[in-house]
Amino acid sequence: MSLNKKSRVLALLALCFLPSIVQTQDGGVGDTAAQLRDAGMKSGLAWEIVEGLTTEVGPRLAGTEADHRAVEWTKRKLESLAFDEVWLERIEFPVWVRYHESAKIVAPFPQKLHISALGYSGSTDGEVTADVAGFTSLEALQEAPLDQVDGKIVFINYFTERTRTGAGYGHSVKVRYDAGQLAKEKGAVAVLIRSIGTDSHRFPHTGVTTLSTDPLPAAALSAPDADQLARIMERGDAVRISLFIRVAYRETGYSWNVIAQVNGRETPEKVVLIGAHLDSWDLGTGALDDGAGVAITAAAAHLIGELPQKPRSSIRLVLFGNEEAGLWGAKQYAAANAGILGDHLYASESDFGARAIWRFDTDNPVLMEAAMPVLEMLGIEKGEAASSGGPDIGPLQDRGVRIFRLQQDGSDYFDYHHTADDTLDKIDPEQLRQNVAAWAAVSYLAAELED
Amino acid sequence: MSLNKKSRVLALLALCFLPSIVQTQDGGVGDTAAQLRDAGMKSGLAWEIVEGLTTEVGPRLAGTEADHRAVEWTKRKLESLAFDEVWLERIEFPVWVRYHESAKIVAPFPQKLHISALGYSGSTDGEVTADVAGFTSLEALQEAPLDQVDGKIVFINYFTERTRTGAGYGHSVKVRYDAGQLAKEKGAVAVLIRSIGTDSHRFPHTGVTTLSTDPLPAAALSAPDADQLARIMERGDAVRISLFIRVAYRETGYSWNVIAQVNGRETPEKVVLIGAHLDSWDLGTGALDDGAGVAITAAAAHLIGELPQKPRSSIRLVLFGNEEAGLWGAKQYAAANAGILGDHLYASESDFGARAIWRFDTDNPVLMEAAMPVLEMLGIEKGEAASSGGPDIGPLQDRGVRIFRLQQDGSDYFDYHHTADDTLDKIDPEQLRQNVAAWAAVSYLAAELED
């Protein structure tokens, strides 16, 4: 899974022979989509973008100086590509920052634990030391009598199932959201959860909890640490943990949604919105989450922008700000553009890593029929109506914007998600290109084929 | 690779049906060896030992309180098994302890780096900030003019090749030993090396450097961090890093070799020494390195101890202290037992993880001929004269003790070696049992078949 040198060389060679797209002026829409697909399979642009963003910026927690550098970097990059317009949309939100986190078992078997504070976690008052109350689910914690939890550090050892679709995460992430609030109601002094992840490496997975005033200190244990703690608790003696979490929280953060558009040739006011999120967690360099999505959708839109004849409607690339701490950019975009959402023909997001796409979902049979002959060569199956267009698309979908989805294989996405290990070496350039090919073809067709 | 629940259940079931070994009094030596093999394949003892040691003690850096707990834990465990004698041999050595290590790129693209100080590294004087001088090998550093290195932080980005035998590590580990001294001679203020490891995860690999007075601060970068630093340097601007390492060093550490013996029935003064090392690095729980070896050789010796008729000579289990920081226990054992090494028939160590054994090496055709019919069923090939019996066996081999080797598949050993990720979930109980089976059979034959 590490970056294969041969692939890199092949990618560079392919770049040298990248033909300009010769659009058949009287050719079919399908021919142009197929040309975009083939250009996508040869394009090194997405790799260049994700390599550049993760190397020259790295981690970019929303509202931090690094995030602002990422906005500047990305705006400059998009301005160098085939967009007609590039603009910023300011967003505001509270900023939560991690300063220190450490944990150790002090009895019966003293040893360190690997933890990461969860987003919006509170700080401990210095070092807090308490006995552990262990549960295997939120429901078990819910049912526990108060005296089993009061004054304790709650540990929830709930497992995340590995699935291609991410359904396992869908089930387990509730633990991350709700454990802190529930444990607090029962008098706990802190909460530790088994990481919401599918790997067995010593990386804790961060991620937000529910935003609240006066939150409980909350952190994730890596899977091996959760296993270790569970084994120690099984031995029956009281287990005592010391925990030290120091975080900062301020109300006055800001960033931007970075937006770029390829204007449509006939109805430019109508847009097909494709996008990703630009911010990342602070631990890794946000290569899979979501540098890859930024790179895929930006490269796809650029290829469409390079066509000699633009599609009927516009392609709007929206790189959302602060997705990670609660879809702040997405909500802002939906609210600020509420008056023109009727002109949003579709919205869709790439925010599930960099593995190959295996299925295309749309409720529009015209789009499906046009797309499938182009996508089949990429190993993409015909799907059904999309249930979601991606997290940042939720607020648009709620307001009635039509969605489509290019589903990636997420089997190993939650091995890296929200960990320090989300780095560039986890991206396979070949699969990244397959994504660009599919996104370019489908986005073009969506903007060309009006109902 | 994580612990499979089904395997655990099967292991437990197998344990319930574990037959006592019915030694055919007039049967062949080969029959007994085959019975030991079969008992090994059914034994849950090695898992019980490595699970217990890594859970109830965890990391056990030589000379620390945790190491002393490990000695106590192991002595107690061995006393409960089928040994005739258990004793401790005190060893003394300096103790190096890690307190703090952090690094960040401050220019041109500010971001944190994941590092681990190397054993015997010096501390920085507060935070040291300097430009980076990058090299791809020790030789390149050696050839560099002084002004290219003086006042800089040296970075050596040398890769470790993945091999079944560990030969790749054999080549690259020189960088870890020598980089600090060489960089110091050329006026560097610190040295960072690419981890001596084969993974692409965000785990730095620690390990000792050469012990010296007034050592340079020296640390390993994880592979993704080394890649990131190399990419940033390739862009051409000066790269500046801040480094903060705080360690402690004291001359007066001590620990013990833990020794247990199954006395031979005819020539108990003659011993077949099998062993492993009990200490571990401080980052992981030392499951692969070398909890597995402790568990495998202890379980194998125990099975021999349970035989109704002991082998002709003794089986001596030696669990060496402080292997990691320079074979201190091994050197002490060889020196203290110099007068009786003529009675050491063989010596061999298990210190290469927990994967299946694939080859048996010995220079003794009698032992090879007796062992191969027993080992073939375990998928073990006939080898040749062993070049090494394991790191702790080196001082014995140097003094003329004959060695044999049961070679494990080390293909992924250096993914975890000396990292925080060396934890119990990396051990496959099934492969662990294969090791016990082979060690029990071969050790028995070595002690039974005198030339």
Give tens-digit pLDDT for A356-375.
Answer: 999 999 999 999 999 999 99
pLDDT at A196 over 80: yes
What does DSSP say about strands A153-156 and A115-117: parallel, antiparallel, or unpaired? Answer: unpaired
Q: What secondary structure does DSSP assign to B4-73, as a single string?
A: PHHHHHHHHHHHHTPPPP---TTS-HHHHHHHHHHHHHH--HHHHHHHHHHHHT----TTSHHHHHHHHH
Is B424 within 8 Å of A227 when comparing Cβ atoms?
Answer: yes
CA distance A150 to chain B (A): 27
Is B201 within 8 Å of A201 when comparing Cβ atoms?
Answer: yes
**What average pLDDT does this structure show over A385-398?**
97
pLDDT at A168 over 90: yes
CA distance B385 to chain A (A): 36
pLDDT number for residue A222:
98
Is B202 within 8 Å of A420 when comparing Cβ atoms?
Answer: yes
pLDDT number for residue A17:
45
CA distance B2 to chain A (A): 6
pLDDT number for residue B451:
58
Residues of B with CB under 8 A from a CB of A: 1-3, 51, 55-59, 66, 108-112, 114, 200-203, 223-224, 227-228, 231-232, 235, 284-285, 419-421, 423-426
CA B319 to chain centre: 11
Cα–Cα dist B270/B346, whole Å? 9
What 3-state class would DSSP assign to A111?
Answer: strand
pLDDT number for residue B82:
98
What 3-state class would DSSP assign to A118?
Answer: coil
Q: What secondary structure does DSSP assign to A339-394, as a single string?
A: GGGGGEEEEEE--S-SSPEEEEEES-HHHHHHHHHHHGGGTPEE--S-S-S-GGGH
Report yes or no: B413 and B407 within 8 Å, Cβ to Cβ.
no
How many residue contacts between A and B have a Cβ separation below 8 Å?
A: 95
**Is the ipTM above a cut-off of 0.90?**
yes
Q: Which residues of chain A neighbour B108 with C-beta distances below 8 Å?
A: 56
- What's at B139, amino acid-wise? E
- In the DSSP assignment, the letter for residue A149 is T
Question: In Å, what is the CA distance from A225 to each residue of A197, A440, B363, B422?
Answer: 13, 43, 44, 11
Question: Would you put residue A80 in left (φ > 0), alpha (ψ -120 to 50) or beta?
Answer: alpha
Report yes or no: A180 and A118 within 8 Å, Cβ to Cβ.
yes
CA distance B177 to chain A (A): 26
Residue carrying the six token digits 């002026």:
A25
Q: Please state, rounded to an integer, the average pLDDT across all residues of chain A.
A: 94
Report yes or no: A447 and A264 within 8 Å, Cβ to Cβ.
yes
CA distance B159 to chain A (A): 13
Of B432, B363, B304, nearest to B44 by C-alpha is: B432
Is A114 within 8 Å of B55 when comparing Cβ atoms?
Answer: no
Is B228 within 8 Å of A56 when comparing Cβ atoms?
Answer: no
Q: Which of the four pLDDT bands, split at 50, 70 and 90, describes residue A1?
A: very low
Residue of B202, B239, B281, B417 to mutate for A, most A C-beta atoms under 10 A: B202
Is B425 within 8 Å of A223 when comparing Cβ atoms?
Answer: yes
pTM confidence score: 0.94
Determine the straight-line distance between the first and last CA of chain A, rounded to whole angstroms: 42
Compare CB distances from A232 to B55, B223, B284 and report the shortest one's residue.
B55
Is A109 within 8 Å of B57 when comparing Cβ atoms?
Answer: yes
Q: Using alpha carbons only, how large is chain A's radius of gyration in Å?
A: 23
Q: Which residues of chain B neighbour A55 with C-beta distances below 8 Å?
A: 109, 228, 231-232, 235
pLDDT number for residue A451:
58
Predicted confidence pLDDT, tens digits, chain B (451 residues): 344 445 544 444 444 444 445 444 445 899 999 999 999 999 999 999 999 999 999 999 999 999 999 999 999 999 999 999 999 999 999 999 999 999 999 999 999 999 999 999 999 999 999 999 999 999 999 999 999 999 999 999 999 999 999 999 999 999 999 999 999 999 999 999 999 999 999 999 999 999 999 999 999 999 999 999 999 999 999 999 999 999 999 999 999 999 999 999 999 999 999 999 999 999 999 999 999 999 999 999 999 999 999 999 999 999 999 999 999 999 999 999 999 999 999 999 999 999 999 999 999 999 999 999 999 999 999 999 999 999 999 999 999 999 999 999 999 999 999 999 999 999 999 999 999 999 999 999 999 997 5
Is A231 within 8 Å of B425 when comparing Cβ atoms?
Answer: no
**Residues paired with residue B442 on neighbouring β-strands, in sequence order:** none
Is B424 within 8 Å of A111 when comparing Cβ atoms?
Answer: no
Is A111 within 8 Å of B200 when comparing Cβ atoms?
Answer: no
- Quote the tokens at residue B298: 């202890």
Nearest CA in chain B to A283: B112
Neighbours of A288 (CB within 10 A): 30
Q: What secondary structure does DSSP assign to B355-414, as a single string?
A: SPEEEEEES-HHHHHHHHHHHGGGTPEE--S-S-S-GGGHHHHHTT--BEEEEE--TTHH
pLDDT number for residue B129:
98
Cα–Cα dist B352/B136, whole Å? 27
Instruction: Render the burial of A135-151: b for 16+ CB within 10 Å, e for the rest.
Output: beebeebeebeeeebee
Residue of B200, B229, B416 to mutate for A, most A C-beta atoms under 10 A: B200
CA distance A224 to chain B (A): 7
CA distance A228 to chain B (A): 6
Compare CB distances from B421 to A57, A201, A285 and report the shortest one's residue.
A201
pLDDT number for residue B17:
45
